[in-house]
Amino acid sequence: MADDDIIKGIKKTHERMENIFRRVFTDPLALSGRGVWMPTCDVYETDENIVILIEIAGIEKKELKITLEGNYLNIKGFRKDPSKKDGRRNYYYMELNFGPFERLVFIPCAIKAEDVTVEYEQGLLKIMLPKLNIGDKEEKVIEIE
């Protein structure tokens, strides 16, 4: 096999892998296999909290369920399709997700579960998980005997 053929084969494999990754990371249904969509999410840390911000516009509070188990926060809900009343539709674009959703978020440190607070405003769900301070963060020198 010539070097050009090897390079073409590698390029073709690379393009296929890029297409697979693009589809998996841009299509919220690609990994679930259950017709459950996954809303976009940011997880960040402040001095006091781990903050989870989830975009879930159009969902009523009563349709949300948030549970904490170990180091995982699970957010489940259901977004109703308001256009169901319109009857038959011919789509030009179909990018909005409706129906059940679920988002499982790993919590990277110990938190005070009893002090978790949640805000839901303008389609953004903000969950603040107060960090549990375990010991001092100061450097401690340990002497060798």
Phi, psi of 79 (to 5 degrees): -110, 120
pLDDT over 80 at 104, yes or no: yes
Classify residue 129 as exposed, middle or buried by CB count within 10 Å of its CB (0-12, 13-18, 19+): buried
Neighbours of 36 (CB within 10 A): 17
Q: Identify the pLDDT of residue 24.
A: 57
Q: Identify the pLDDT of residue 33.
A: 47
* Cβ pair 21, 13 in contact under 8 A: no
Q: Identify the pLDDT of residue 27.
A: 52
Q: Read off the pLDDT of each residue in 19-47 and give the average, rounded to a whole number.
A: 71
Q: Identify the pLDDT of residue 67.
A: 94
pTM, two decimal places: 0.67
Instruction: Retrieve residue 93's tokens.
Output: 């674009």
